[in-house]
């Protein structure tokens, strides 16, 4: 049995034609327009927590849950309580998942405090680095978002976040995390947790604006970030952070 022999010319013609097919979708699509007058390039959002003011009331958790339809058992923001006993042993706990309230615990403490936690919207976020499909988004205004329609739910970002801010949402089966209430901040509002905090423990603002409350606080006070050795450059700044907090 013998083959039909292709002449070299015919073969080259075939191969030359093929790459042109690839050009069909190379023309960029029309711009997805920026709605209204919000210009992402003008802002660079940040967050600060004054840990000396938090009273552990749980309003922030309730507000976030209501604002963002967060599934029960998962948290886009949460509050931790640290109790340092007289023997120097530290106990850490979180609020009850149902009532979002802290239970009263017995035992003498030499020091105790609350630490609100949330996604740090890191400048060099590990979650964005490890997402295999580009579903973790770094917006130009400094917010890290999840593309719910593109995420495949592999869970790599959940493993990669050093702060435990991410989870796989049991309803959407995609990654879930704090969005800094992007739908609010792009309309001039504050995130729900900041707006509902009764003691001003949570502060939100524009790092680009030197006169914003956030910039002023950062200029006037001493602050730290969580796990700076991870090299993630978080944009959530903590005042009064105790050495016990990881």
Partner 1 sequence: MTFVFPNEANVTWTVMIVLYPFITGLVAGAFIVSSLFHVFGKSNLKAVARYSLVSAFVFLLFAPLPLLVHLGHPERAFNIMITPNFSSAMAGFGYIYAAYLLLVLLEIWFSLRSEFIARAKGRGLTAWICRVIMLYNLDEDESTKRADFKITRFLAGLGIPLACLLHGYVGFLFGALKANPWWSTPLMFVIFIFSAIVSGIAVIIFHYFVVSWINGWRVDQVCVRTLAKYLWGFMIVAVSLELLEILSLAYKQTEEWEVLRTLIDQKLFFTYIVLQFLILSLIPFLMLGVASLVKLKDRLAYALIWTASTMLLLQVLLMRWNVVIGGQLLSKSLRGFTNYLPGIWDREGLIVAAIIFTLPFGILYVFHRIIPLFPGAVKVRARTNRQAADTTAGIGN
Partner 2 sequence: MNINEKNSKGATPRTSYRHTFRLAVLIIILVLAALLVRQILVPESFGLKGYYRAAAVDEAREFPIRHVGEKACIECHDDIASLHDKDAHAAVPCESCHGPGADHAQAEGETAILIPEGKDPCLACHRPLDARPSAFPQIRWREHYQFVGVKDTSIDCIECHSPHEPLFMDRDIRSARLHPLIHRCQDCHTERFDRDFHRPKSHPAIFECSYCHKEIVEDFSRRAHSEIQCSTCHMFFKESDFAGRIIRDSDPRFCLLCHREADFRSSDAPPGIKWPGHLEDVAMEPGDTKKRCVDCHREMIHKIMERPDSNE
CA-to-CA dists, residue 76 to 69, 113, 155, 163, angstroms: 10, 20, 16, 12
> Is the separation of the CB atoms in 51 and 238 below 8 Å?
yes
Residues 203-242 that bind partner 2 (CB under 8 A): none
Q: How far is the CB of 197 from partner 1 (least distance, A)?
A: 19
Q: Which of 44, 74, 90, 145 binds partner 2 (CB under 8 A)?
A: 145
Examine residue 137 and tell whether it contacts partner 2 (CB under 8 A).
yes
Q: How far is the CB of 37 from partner 1 (least distance, A)?
A: 31
User: What's the 3-state SS for 160-204?
Assistant: HCCCCCCEECCCCCCEECCCCCHHHHCCCCCCHHHHCCCCCCEEE
Of the two residues 97 and 210, which places its CB atom closer to partner 1 in the complex? 97
Q: Which does 26 bind (CB under 5 to 8 A by kind): partner 1, partner 2, none?
A: partner 2
Rounded CA-CA distance 201/53 in Å is: 5
Q: Up-side HSE of residue 39: CA atoms within 13 Å toward CB?
A: 3
Q: Which stretch binds partner 2 (CB under 8 A): 153-161, 167-175, 186-194, 203-211?
A: 186-194
Which tokens sit at 137?
């988004």
Examine residue 35 and tell whether it contacts partner 2 (CB under 8 A).
yes
Strands annotated E in the chain: 45-50, 77-85, 90-94, 109-118, 136-138, 144-146, 167-168, 175-176, 202-206, 223-224, 236-239
Residues 65-84 that bind partner 2 (CB under 8 A): 66-68, 81-83
Q: Which does 32 bind (CB under 5 to 8 A by kind): partner 1, partner 2, none?
A: partner 2
Q: Which of 34, 42, 96, 244 binds partner 2 (CB under 8 A)?
A: 34
Examine residue 85 and tell whether it contacts partner 2 (CB under 8 A).
no
Q: Which of 70, 52, 49, 166 is nearest to 117 (CA)?
A: 49
> Is the separation of the CB atoms in 116 and 202 below 8 Å?
yes
DSSP helix, strand, coil percent of the chain (3-state; round to 5): 25, 20, 55
Q: Contact residues for partner 1 (CB under 8 A)?
A: 1-3, 73-75, 78, 80, 91-94, 97, 117, 126, 129-135, 150-156, 158-168, 172-174, 230-231, 246
Residues that bind partner 2 (CB under 8 A): 3, 6, 15, 18-19, 21-22, 24-26, 28-29, 31-32, 34-35, 38, 40, 52-53, 55-59, 63, 66-68, 81-83, 101-102, 104-105, 108-110, 112-114, 134-140, 145, 147-150, 179, 182-184, 186-187, 189, 192, 195-200
């Amino acid at each position: 049995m013998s083959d039909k022999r292709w002449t070299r010319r015919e073969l080259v013609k075939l191969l030359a034609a093929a790459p042109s097919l690839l050009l069909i979708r190379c023309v960029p699509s029309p711009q997805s327009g920026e709605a209204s007058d919000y210009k992402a390039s003008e802002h660079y959002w940040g967050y600060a927590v004054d840990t000396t003011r938090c009273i552990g009331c749980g309003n922030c958790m309730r507000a976030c849950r209501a604002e963002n339809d967060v599934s029960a058992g998962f948290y886009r923001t949460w509050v931790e309580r640290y109790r340092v006993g007289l023997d120097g042993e530290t106990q850490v706990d979180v609020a009850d998942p149902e009532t979002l309230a802290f239970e009263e615990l017995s035992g003498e403490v030499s020091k105790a405090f609350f630490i609100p936690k949330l996604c740090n919207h890191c400048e060099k976020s590990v979650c964005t680095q490890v997402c295999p499909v580009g579903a973790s988004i770094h917006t130009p205004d400094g917010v890290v978002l999840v593309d719910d329609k593109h995420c495949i739910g592999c869970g790599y970002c959940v493993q990669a976040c050093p702060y435990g801010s991410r989870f796989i949402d049991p309803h959407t089966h995609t990654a879930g995390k704090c969005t800094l209430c992007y739908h609010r901040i792009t309309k001039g509002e504050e995130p729900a947790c900041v707006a509902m905090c009764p003691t001003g423990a949570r502060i939100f603002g524009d790092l680009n604006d030197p006169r914003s409350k956030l910039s002023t606080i950062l200029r006037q006070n001493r602050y730290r970030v969580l796990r700076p050795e991870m090299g993630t450059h978080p944009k959530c700044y903590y005042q009064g952070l105790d050495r016990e907090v990881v």
